[in-house]
Amino acid sequence: MSVIQDSMLAILRENPGHFTAEQLLAMLRRTHHRASPATVYRNLDIFTREGKIRRVALADSPKFFEGNLTPHDHAVCLHCGQVTDLIALKGLSELVAGNIQGELISTDLTVNYICNDCAGKTGGEYH
């Protein structure tokens, strides 16, 4: 692994949350001032393929990357795009397994909602 790859992995593992490639580039440039977008994109692809990080694809949003490899699902606010981890959806796999014909491999659930901050700001537009 190169120094820059080490730094990228460290950023993802030490910062809980979900980051776009652009945000990761900005974070990386604090220590590697000349890091290029191409380097960041290439390494994010490699890390995702190798299972070192997780890529989270959400409708209508840029792709996010995260270092948290514990299985979990996501809730995204449709207004501000804030992504929240859903850790405790126990029983989801069993529910899904009962509704498909075949063997369940994995689930990747996204819950779309309007967060309380946005619900206040929009004056009930979504209700």
Q: Given the complex with Zn ion, which of 39 and 82 has the nearer CB atom?
A: 82
Q: Least separation, in Å, of the C-beta of 80 and Zn ion?
A: 3
Q: Which of 80, 97, 109, 111 binds Zn ion (CB under 5 A)?
A: 80
**Binding status of residue 79 toward Zn ion by CB under 5 A:** yes
Q: Which stretch binds Zn ion (CB under 5 A): 1-9, 31-39, 80-88, 105-113?
A: 80-88
The rounded distance, in Å, linking the Cα atoms of 2 and 4 is 5
User: Quick check: 56 and 63 in contact, CB under 8 A?
Assistant: yes
- Going by C-beta distance under 8 Å and a sequence separation of 6 or more, which residues neighbour residue 100? none
Burial (CB < 10 A; 0-12, 13-18, 19+), residue 85, is middle
| Sheet strands side by side (includes 83-86) | 83-86, 73-77, 110-113
Options 27-35, 36-44, 81-89, 102-110: segment touching Zn ion (CB under 5 A): 81-89
Q: Could you tell me which stretch among 2-10, 69-77, 86-94, 104-112 binds Zn ion (CB under 5 A)?
A: 69-77
Binding site for Zn ion (CB under 5 A): 66, 77, 79-80, 85, 115, 118
